[in-house]
A = this chain, B = another copy of it.
């Protein structure tokens, strides 16, 4: 699934997609705030923080308590709709779970984030690490830091 396909799928929530059905079967409801969360994530492909969400809602005049946002995030993660990422900022970020493994490059100045897909195969490295350390490797986290085109000017 591409990000676009995923976003569309999520937006379909507003009508009656299989995602709606999935939620129903899990005894989860379609509430106004949940709808706003779906909309927000479908509009924002880059990893966002809980505070980003709160600020955005606030600027739209949507009155939501931060506890609710944190709980909605938890719900969306558990449902496999979004996933957590961390860039060592002291806060968590979340992005739509496209199912495609990728990495990020983050601007040290303005925090703009772009997706990155590797050419090298880190699975080979994982095998080497297992041989060397005795660990069983489950996953990895790789992020690049630098300056975005805008901040380079």
A interface, CB within 8 angstroms of B: 84, 86, 88, 90, 92, 105, 107-108, 114, 116, 118-120, 122, 124-126, 128-130, 132-149, 152
Contacts and interface: CB of A to CB of B under 8 A. Distances in A.
A144 B129 contact: yes
A133 B105 contact: yes
**How many protomers of this protein does the assembly include?**
2
Nearest to A122: B120
A85 to B, nearest CB: 8
A148 B86 CA distance: 22
Q: Which of A118, A125, A144, A148 has the most C-beta atoms of chain B within 10 angstroms of its own C-beta?
A: A144
28 contacts: A86-B86, A90-B92, A105-B129, A105-B135, A105-B137, A107-B135, A108-B138, A114-B135, A116-B133, A118-B125, A120-B120, A120-B122, A120-B124, A134-B149, A134-B152, A135-B144, A135-B146, A135-B147, A135-B148, A135-B149, A136-B147, A136-B152, A137-B146, A139-B145, A139-B146, A140-B145, A141-B142, A141-B145
